[in-house]
């Protein structure tokens, strides 16, 4: 893929892009090393809630050894971009408000869980102030993703109400998703403030959507969009990220594409086709360590739904 193709994609996708619950490829989460590990955990407990997107986690590994991953052959790798390679394991879970009742909660979100293995590549072009990623997800939605076991175990350990409605969850189905995303730096004030436009596209059996957004970073940070020598081994900065999404399909609400007899799903006509999500947080990085605290909220995703909130932490280290 050449510069012209990248610029055309960016102009088209700036009209729309892709948002997801666990977004680890955005630039403000970049680590300036080829080899690192990051663990991420979300829970609506951080927002004093226990419904909708109830929890999620991911394990992310980046290393040059993944350049030999055969999945990379189907991922987009722009020419003259500095590329990095990695794998991630992601798990997400969703529940209705009254998760402690055994009967179906009509008008609320269905129980759902999904687990995926993600292969990804990330490219940077400092002269063009561009960042590009491409990813392929393969996994499972349904009881095989052990969402019930995860939530029940956590609630028993913390003394919360026992979830009783997981037998009504979305049934087992395959997850195959392909994602591409682009970021373009629009403004930079030294290494104290930067503004980026971002746009992504996601197509597959779990999520099909397209959205547009931006992110602003303020504080002491080393910009991934510059080739200048890194000035600081200690970084601390805040970020804000609004994202607007056009939704085509959401299997966590509508059920899988193959298995169509889940006990309860949200109909296509009740799906909210436009959503707005807002993320903000604090990141601290040293030469070898990464820490993040994040908070998120999203407008209702189906006609009878409500605004949802959650928070999360990320911990990482280089090697």
Domains of the chain as residue ranges with CATH: 3-318 (2.40.128.140)
The pLDDT-based confidence of 1 (bands split at 50, 70, 90) is low
What contacts 269, CB < 8 A, 6 or more positions away?
A: none
Cα Rg of the chain (Å, integer): 19
Q: Are strands 82-95 and 308-318 parallel, antiparallel or unpaired?
A: unpaired
Comparing CA positions, the residue from 310, 315, 319 lying closest to residue 44 is 310
Q: What is the mean pLDDT of residues 296-317?
A: 96
Q: pLDDT by residue (tens digit) across 81-102?
A: 999 999 999 999 999 999 999 9
136: tokens are 């392929």
Q: Are strands 82-95 and 193-204 parallel, antiparallel or unpaired?
A: unpaired
Q: What is the mean pLDDT of residues 167-196?
A: 96
Q: Are strands 173-189 and 193-204 parallel, antiparallel or unpaired?
A: antiparallel
- For the ranges 5-19, 193-207, 275-289, the lowest mean pLDDT is seen at 5-19
Q: What is the mean pLDDT of residues 147-171?
A: 93
Strands (E), 221-259: 235-250
Higher pLDDT, 156 or 15: 156
With 80 as the cut, is the pLDDT of residue 304 above it? yes
- DSSP H or E stretch at residue 82: strand 82-95
Average pLDDT over the chain, rounded to an integer: 92
58: tokens are 């991911």
Question: Could you count the other beta carbons within 10 Å of the beta carbon of residue 85?
Answer: 22
Q: What percent of the chain has pLDDT over 90?
A: 84
Residue 185 and residue 28 in contact, taking contact as beta carbons nearer than 8 Å: no
With 60 as the cut, is the pLDDT of residue 10 above it? no
Alpha helices in 74-164 (DSSP H): 147-158
131: tokens are 């960042």
Question: Could you count the other beta carbons within 10 Å of the beta carbon of residue 86?
Answer: 26
Strands (E), 251-288: 274-285
Per-residue pLDDT at 3:
47
Higher pLDDT, 231 or 99: 99
Higher pLDDT, 114 or 232: 114
Distance CA 178, CA 112 (A): 20
With 80 as the cut, is the pLDDT of residue 9 above it? no
With 70 as the cut, is the pLDDT of residue 281 above it? yes
With 70 as the cut, is the pLDDT of residue 64 above it? yes
- For the entire predicted model, the pTM comes to 0.91
The pLDDT-based confidence of 183 (bands split at 50, 70, 90) is very high
Distance CA 19, CA 275 (A): 10
At 5 the three-state DSSP class reads helix
Q: Report in angstroms the alpha-carbon separations of 10 from 15, 43, 51, 132, 216.
A: 9, 32, 35, 10, 18
Per-residue pLDDT at 23:
87
Distance CA 119, CA 301 (A): 27
Q: What is the mean pLDDT of residues 41-45?
A: 90
Distance CA 123, CA 25 (A): 10
Question: Could you count the other beta carbons within 10 Å of the beta carbon of residue 14?
Answer: 16
Question: Could you count the other beta carbons within 10 Å of the beta carbon of residue 192?
Answer: 13
With 60 as the cut, is the pLDDT of residue 147 above it? yes
The pLDDT-based confidence of 263 (bands split at 50, 70, 90) is very high
Q: What is the mean pLDDT of residues 213-225?
A: 96
Distance CA 279, CA 91 (A): 19
């Amino acid at each position: 893929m050449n510069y012209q193709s990248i610029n055309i994609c960016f102009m088209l996708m700036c009209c729309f892009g892709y948002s997801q619950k666990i977004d680890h490829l955005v630039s403000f989460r970049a680590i300036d090393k080829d080899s690192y590990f990051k663990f991420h955990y979300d829970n609506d407990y951080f927002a004093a809630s226990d419904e909708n997107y109830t929890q999620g986690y991911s394990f992310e590994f980046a290393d040059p050894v993944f350049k030999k991953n055969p999945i990379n052959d189907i991922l987009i790798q722009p020419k003259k971009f500095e590329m990095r390679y990695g794998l991630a394991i992601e798990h997400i879970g969703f529940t209705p408000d009254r998760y402690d009742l055994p009967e179906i909660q009509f008008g609320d979100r269905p129980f759902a869980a999904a687990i995926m293995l993600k292969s990804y590549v990330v490219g940077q072009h400092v002269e063009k102030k561009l960042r590009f990623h491409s990813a392929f997800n393969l996994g499972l939605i349904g009881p095989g993703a052990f969402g019930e076991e995860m939530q029940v175990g956590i609630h028993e350990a913390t003394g919360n109400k026992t979830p009783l409605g997981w037998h009504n969850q979305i049934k087992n189905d395959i997850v195959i998703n392909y994602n591409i995303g682009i970021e373009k730096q629009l403004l930079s004030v030294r290494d104290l403030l930067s503004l980026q436009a971002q746009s992504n596209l996601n197509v597959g059996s779990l999520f099909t959507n397209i959205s547009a957004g931006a992110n602003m970073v303020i504080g002491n940070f080393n910009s991934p969009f510059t080739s200048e020598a890194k000035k600081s081994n200690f970084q601390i900065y805040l970020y804000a990220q609004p994202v607007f999404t056009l939704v085509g399909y959401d299997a966590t609400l509508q059920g899988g594409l193959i298995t169509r007899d889940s006990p309860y799903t949200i109909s296509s006509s009740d799906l909210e086709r436009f959503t707005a999500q807002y993320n903000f947080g604090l990141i601290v990085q040293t030469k070898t360590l990464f820490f993040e605290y994040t908070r998120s909220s999203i407008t209702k995703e189906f006609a009878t739904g409500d605004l949802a909130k959650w928070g999360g932490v990320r911990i990482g280290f280089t090697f």
